[in-house]
Every structure is written in structure tokens, then in C-alpha cells.
Amino acid sequence: MSETSMDEPQAPAARYRIAALAITAIVLGGVLVGALFAANTGLLLIVGGLFGVVLYHAAFGFTSAWRVFITQRRGRGLRAQMLMLAVAVVLFFPALSAGTLNGVAVQGFVAPLGLSVIVGAFLFGLGMQLGGGCASGTLFTAGGGNARMVITLAFFIVGSVIGTAHFSFWQSLPAFRPVSLVQVAGAGGGMAISLVLFAVITAATVVMEKRRHGELEHVAAAPRQGLARLAAGPWPLLAGALALALLNFTTLALAGRPWGITSAFALWGAKGFSLLGGDASQWGYWQSPGNAAALNANVWGDITTVMNVGIMLGALAAASLAGRFAPNFRIPLRSVAAAVIGGLLLGYGARLAFGCNIGAYFSGIASGSLHGWLWLVAAFAGNMLGVKLRPAFFIGEAARQPVAKTC
């Protein structure tokens, strides 16, 4: 899933026991959260668990997919992302245009286009390559037993808190107003524009891959089939793309807004800061009604927190069923340094850019927000720099061939 291997075999009894505990925690946690806070919040913990299973079994990452395209011009991962976005747009735009979904008021993630997004997304993209994962990738690989990614996650949270401290400054810089394709062109028009852009990107990856290699990448046959493959993976990448789009739409239906991840990291960090005697409540980021309410409320009532916990538990269950939950704590110091730096950049960049590869890129574009497209361009540029810097932190990186299916 990133640089630290999780491929050591796991004893059959242990793998089923750990998987059962993780699944039980998801179900009982969903029931408990639903009873104490809101039924939909409890259901979203279970949806988070499903996200974790899909992310792990389909090995659906963004970091390595972009790295493989940058270094090798292999575009299978990028094409899967375009399919995911296309399905999401087709599902989201009519609901967002109507303003309701099954009687629930819904709204997308639409944010301003400005220097804050450009700088934040660039830093996030750089952090992706140094930290070894994106927001979703950090969660599902850490949950799946990758010890190095726990370090990235810890400093992701620290970077998020620092980002909230500087948030007001970045928002004072020049920016254009938020623009939504759904509002500008309507559901049908916005959908058509988006699908054309996805098709152009897909075609470009095909042309560039064939120009470099003469043919598209061949996918090796899966070692398992049938129910065994369903339970233990690996799942086809395109199946993962479809499942993520459907789960994001389910999130929209239950939460009234799309899937997000990193706002919870800022919340966890701010609450941790307060335990150390600090006070983040006066920072500009926490002055908005929604953020202020979250800061003062029980963290288990926060939808994003609940879903993040579900993702990690779902990934733990999937990794155990696959027999790959085997944390390795022998992490080279250079790799630790990259995790620390990368995590800080990921957290800080996500706050500046109104989200991460999920909240800004996936859910932003699915919401019709132009800031999602701006995020994509700036973050990809950051990834290009990150790829150049990786050999300084990972021994043999220049000679090693990255694998497109991992995060």
C-alpha cells in the first residue's frame, strides 16, 4: 500500500479472528453511534467500513497511480479515477440540481478558486509522494497494518491543525467566487461538460501510454476467484472505482453532503491541542458556525470522524481476510523523515485547498465545483516535484518500478 510491506502471511486463525473483531466493531459501533447521536450517523460508520474494504481490496490509491503515470506513462490508475468521477457526476448532478435526495436536503462541496487552493493542492500533492499516500490512502493503509503510514497520519493531523491556525491569512488572498457547473450549466449541461473532460483525460492517457510502450498495460490474472476473491481480494480496479462512486452517493443521501476526510483531522488535532492547554477556538477556521459547533461537540457526533474510523476498521477487516495484516516496525530513518514531512504537507495543504483528494478532487468534481479541477492541476504538479524528491528519502527508488495498483 506504500513503502512498508504488508505481504507477510498471517496465520489463518488470527486473520479470521481479527477480521471478525473489526466487523463486529463496525456493526456495534454503528448501532451505538446511531442510538446516541443520529441514525444516519451510525449508518455512515458502516458506510465508512465499506469504503475501507473497497479501498483495500481494490488497492484503489491516488498516489502511486499518479506516480506511475508520471514516471512510466502507465495510465490504468488514472483511467479508473476518470470512471469513478464519471459515475459520480451522473449520480450527483441531478440530485444537486434538485436540492433534495429521498427527502433529504443535499448540497455539494463548492469552494472559491484562488491562491489558497493552488498553493494548498500543490503542497498536498508534494506530501502525497513523500508521505506515501493521500487522505484515503493514509487511512486505509494505516488501518490495514502499515506502521509507517501511522506516522504519516499522526503528522497529517498536526499539519491540519497548523493549517487551521493560518487559515484566515490564506483566505484573505485573492480568489474568484465559487463556481458550480450544476448552477452554471444545469445538471445536463454540467454533466456533458464533465464527461467530455473525463473522456479527454482518458484518451490522453491511452495515447501517451501506447506511445511509450506500444500497448496498454496487461493486468495479471487474480490468484483467487469467486467468493474467495470477494472476501480476500484482490478486486478489479474498475470495480473499486464503481463501488467508490456508489458509496459516495450513499454518503450524499445519508449525510446531505459528499464524502470528506480531512476536516476530521483538523478537529482531532484541535481537540488534542486543547488537552495540552491550547485554545484553537479563536482561530479564524473555527469561527464559522459549523466548525465552531463541531469543536464544542462530542467528536463521535462528527460524521467525518465516524466515517474515518469506519474506513480504518474496514481496511483492518479486509487486510486480515487477505492474510496481509502484519505490521512491520523496522522503518528506515529516511522513510520516517519522509512520512513526517509528507504528513505535515498533506495536513497543511488540505486545509488551504478546502479538502484533499477526496473532499476537493473526488467530491469537489462530483459536486460540479471548478475548484476541484483547479485542485487536480495544482496537486498533479506537486506530485511531479514529489516524484523527483523521493529518491532522496527512499533508497533505490530511482531503480524501483512503482506498482500502479497500490496507494
Nearest to 139 by CA among 353, 300, 357: 357
**365 within a domain of the structure (yes/no):** yes
Cα→Cα distances 344→153, 156, 226, 265, 350, Å = 9, 5, 41, 12, 10
Cα→Cα distances 152→122, 195, 234, 332, Å = 18, 34, 25, 14
Beta bridge partners of 93: none
Q: Phi/psi at 101 (nearest 5 deg)?
A: -145, 110
Q: First-to-last CA distance in the chain?
A: 5
Cell output for 226: 469467486
Task: Identify the H or E element spanning 101.
Answer: strand 100-101
Is the CB of residue 144 less than 8 Å from the CB of residue 315? yes
Q: How many whole angstroms from its chain centre is CA 60? A: 10
Is the CB of residue 9 less than 8 Å from the CB of residue 24? no
Domain span including residue 201: 12-99+108-216+226-392
pLDDT given at position 403: 41
Cα→Cα distances 56→139, 234, 322, 374, 393, Å = 10, 8, 10, 28, 25
Cα→Cα distances 334→67, 200, 275, 340, 388, Å = 19, 39, 31, 10, 15
Cell output for 83: 470512471
Distance CA 328, CA 98 (A): 49
**398 within a domain of the structure (yes/no):** no
**63 within a domain of the structure (yes/no):** yes
Number of neighbours of residue 14 by Cβ within 10 angstroms: 13
Nearest to 91 by CA among 191, 224, 205: 191
Q: How many domains does the chain have?
A: 1
Q: Phi/psi at 165 (nearest 5 deg)?
A: -65, -30
> pLDDT tens track of the chain, all 407 residues?
344 334 445 567 777 899 999 999 999 999 999 999 999 999 999 999 999 999 999 999 899 999 999 999 999 999 999 999 999 999 999 999 999 998 999 999 999 999 999 999 999 999 999 999 999 999 999 999 999 999 999 999 999 999 999 999 999 999 999 999 999 999 999 999 999 999 999 999 999 999 999 999 998 888 889 999 999 999 999 999 999 999 999 999 999 999 999 999 999 999 999 999 999 999 999 999 999 999 999 999 999 999 999 999 999 999 999 998 888 899 999 999 999 999 999 999 999 999 999 999 999 999 999 999 999 999 999 999 999 999 999 987 654 544 434 44
Nearest to 219 by CA among 238, 242, 200: 238
Is the CB of residue 46 less than 8 Å from the CB of residue 33? no
pLDDT given at position 2: 41
DSSP summary character for residue 359: I
**207 within a domain of the structure (yes/no):** yes
Distance CA 403, CA 400 (A): 9
What amino acid is encoded at 278 in this protein? G
**18 within a domain of the structure (yes/no):** yes
Is the CB of residue 313 less than 8 Å from the CB of residue 26? yes
Q: How many whole angstroms from its chain centre is CA 317? A: 18
Q: Phi/psi at 5 (nearest 5 deg)?
A: -70, 145
Is the CB of residue 4 less than 8 Å from the CB of residue 149? yes
What amino acid is encoded at 186 in this protein? G
Is the CB of residue 155 less than 8 Å from the CB of residue 337? no
pLDDT given at position 15: 78
Distance CA 127, CA 152 (A): 10
Is the CB of residue 170 less than 8 Å from the CB of residue 99? no
Number of neighbours of residue 204 by Cβ within 10 angstroms: 12
Residue with cell 446516541: 36
- Alpha-helical (H) ranges within 37-173 are 39-57, 63-72, 76-98, 115-131, 135-143, 147-165, 167-171
**400 within a domain of the structure (yes/no):** no
**116 within a domain of the structure (yes/no):** yes
pLDDT given at position 326: 85
